Amino acid sequence: MFGLTLRYATVGILTLMTQHVFAQITPSRTSPGTAQAVVRLEDQLINGLRATRDEQQAFLRSVVVLSEQGKLDKRLINAIYVWARRRQPLYPFPFFERGLRIEAQKRGIALPVVNLVQRVGGVTPPAPLLR
């Protein structure tokens, strides 16, 4: 009798394992007025591009200001953001900075300079010699 029960239990478990389980994704339980639906552009850029240094964050804040002034299109910023993250997922900031600088130059917009070389002890290492 114990063997028969074990056999039914095994068949039942195997049946449950082979069935597909579907779940419904439910919306969040917060009301629309309490949660922020969209991430701010500044937060998206700083976090998504992994801008850890103050210079990098200041550069991204100036990009946001230019966007708010209507000088840089948000679609352009987002397109370069996505491209930079695909190009270098671990540290996309230099790719974003260079790509945006090129596109801004085409439009006659000056962007602030970002020193991508780490300063050691308050001294900036010399630039490599060009041949």
Query: What's the whole-number mean pLDDT along residues 89-102?
Result: 94
pTM given for the model: 0.61
Domain containing residue 72: 41-112
Contact 42, 64 (CB under 8 A): yes
Q: Is residue 16 part of a domain?
A: no
Residue 125 is predicted with a pLDDT of 53
Q: How many domains does the chain divide into?
A: 1
Contact 25, 10 (CB under 8 A): no
Q: Is residue 18 part of a domain?
A: no
Centre a 10 Å sphere on the Cβ of residue 13 and count the other Cβ atoms it contains. Answer: 10
Contact 68, 40 (CB under 8 A): no
> Does the pLDDT of residue 84 top 50, yes or no?
yes
> Does the pLDDT of residue 27 top 50, yes or no?
no
Query: What's the whole-number mean pLDDT along residues 75-82?
Result: 96
Query: What's the whole-number mean pLDDT along residues 56-60?
Result: 93
Torsion angles phi and psi, residue 27, rounded to 5:
-70, 160
Q: Is residue 66 part of a domain?
A: yes
Confidence tier at 114 by pLDDT (50, 70, 90): confident
Q: Is residue 25 part of a domain?
A: no
